[in-house]
Structure 1
């Protein structure tokens, strides 16, 4: 169990960045005294309005009364106990989770303090949501596949949502067919508007000319090739979460990104 909890903590904190949506934050960062009790940010899309829910083990306002199967369905299939979750829940990116990693995440969440909180408003959803998993990450990975450097990099990229954020969009969904890694997704936040950059191997429009160290600095420190601070959400995710990515996983991620065909 100890190994599961340690692995679950790594997945939650370094890759999936669950706090980003499910923990309230203030001027100084996350309010860890109310960890996983629900985020303050409201996510809006073409067909939905939602806010990160309470995923602490509280039985009344959190997921303490949920079975492992119900939690698993929410994480990898985007299915809540009252139906389909809003697309803000990146279940498509988590489909790749190995069975062991999925169990580790659930074990870690169950081990956290229960926090009673005002339930988030019911998400507003209209119409059906078509799944958009990243190419090659449509289903759970086998543990053996992670020994391959490129496949491991794809696994990391999917869980960390690199492809969902840095690909072109059509109708509020990632366009992996024509714009895999090409950037263009727009983030509208209180701090301003940011556009996800091109992370393909294009030498000018993308990161083809970047060194491995420059890419690693951008991912883990939120710093551009020229040394400028990147805009949120990348800068926030880099410092709070991606800085914790292990050297092995970071090397695998860079190796995978190098395989993305150049896109303008």
Structure 2
């Protein structure tokens, strides 16, 4: 009696099934790893504080927080994965372009109240891990509030000119002449933590004055005075010990027993206290090597 030939799928499926199961599980594990890594980047980049209107009881990451500046008041956007009011329709390329080039998915320039001039230094992997984390959060259908800006600062078509003046797109390579801790500290300070956005004075057009990098300013966010964090012995942190700096980053405690308040208190609560001890030490290493500024 002639045997009936088995369908090709009957032969292939038993062989392919273990591969499908293994690779499928591997993909899920990879996604979970990306979300976990992205959660750490999320904290190091200070996303929670800016994109949550905590004073008004807003849900996390739904935006609406007011950022008062000399150019008007900006209201942070919803960055939950809601497809209408959030970033749920953003592709990986959209996300990378926003952080790397300061451009929205529709091609319009983003206002630099979003510190992409610093975030552009982030690696692609960290950016995509951050996106994985954000897309793993609960979508929140909270509409964005329009900025309160007056001309010419409300003219978005002028922003590309600002970007040409004050932004160099792309990640920054490690300096091979420096130790690994210094390079990691620079990445945490300049890219993820975007510390210069608050601690560096700005020009009349709102760009960072790099000649006074981290020297502090009386015109910080919401009009608050922001201190000098260079190692200047009189005006900066030159008299602080390494443990003093580490204690501030971890617990918000100053050498005189005072506690960091205002914006820095928020940074400690949401960001630097969440870092590993090694990363906080790297920040200290880098800040120690910054040229003192008066």
Q: TM-score range by the shorter chain?
A: 0.7 to 0.9
Cα deviation, residue 89, structure 1: 0.0
TM-score by length of 1: 0.86
Residue of 170, 174, 189 corresponding to 1:139: 170
Cα deviation, residue 26, structure 1: 2.8
Partner of 2:48: 19
Residue of 245, 253, 256 corresponding to 2:283: 253
Q: Is the 8 A contact 1:22 1:37 kept in 2?
A: yes
**Residues of 2 paired with 1:147 and 1:10: CA distance?**
23
**Residues of 2 paired with 1:43 and 1:51: CA distance?**
9
**Residues of 2 paired with 1:256 and 1:233: CA distance?**
21
Partner of 1:58: 82
Secondary structure, aligned partner of 1:195 = coil
Runs of at least 5 residues in structure 2 that lack an aligned partner in the other structure:
1-30
Q: Is the 8 A contact 1:57 1:114 kept in 2?
A: yes
Secondary structure, aligned partner of 2:262 = coil
Partner of 1:152: 184
Secondary structure, aligned partner of 1:199 = coil
Q: Is the 8 A contact 1:222 1:236 kept in 2?
A: no
CA deviation profile, 1:79-124 (whole Å, cap 9, x unmatched): 1134111111011111111111111001111111110012322674
Question: What does 1:26-41 align with in structure 2 at a 5 Å threshold?
Answer: 26=55, 31=58, 34-41=59-66
Q: Greater share of helix residues, 1 or 2?
A: 2
Partner of 2:32: 2
Partner of 1:174: 208
Cα deviation, residue 36, structure 1: 1.4
Question: What does 1:72-151 align with in structure 2 at a 5 Å threshold?
Answer: 72-82=96-106, 83-121=108-146, 124=149, 125-126=154-155, 127-128=158-159, 129-130=162-163, 132=166, 139-141=170-172, 148-151=180-183
Q: Greater share of strand residues, 1 or 2?
A: 1
Q: Is the 8 A contact 1:96 1:139 kept in 2?
A: yes
Q: Which moved more, 1:251-260 or 1:166-175?
A: 166-175
Question: What does 1:220-235 align with in structure 2 at a 5 Å threshold?
Answer: 220-235=250-265
**Residues of 1 paired with 2:215 and 2:175: CA distance?**
30
Alignment size in residue pairs: 251
Cα deviation, residue 187, structure 1: 2.9
Runs of at least 5 residues in structure 1 that lack an aligned partner in the other structure:
none
**Residues of 1 paired with 2:74 and 2:236: CA distance?**
32
Cα deviation, residue 167, structure 1: 1.6
Secondary structure, aligned partner of 1:84 = coil
Cα deviation, residue 16, structure 1: 0.9
Q: Is the 8 A contact 1:194 1:231 kept in 2?
A: no
Q: CA RMSD in A?
A: 2.4
Q: Is the 8 A contact 1:98 1:143 kept in 2?
A: no
Q: Is the 8 A contact 1:22 1:36 kept in 2?
A: yes
TM-score by length of 2: 0.77
**Residues of 1 paired with 2:99 and 2:226: CA distance?**
24
Partner of 2:266: 236
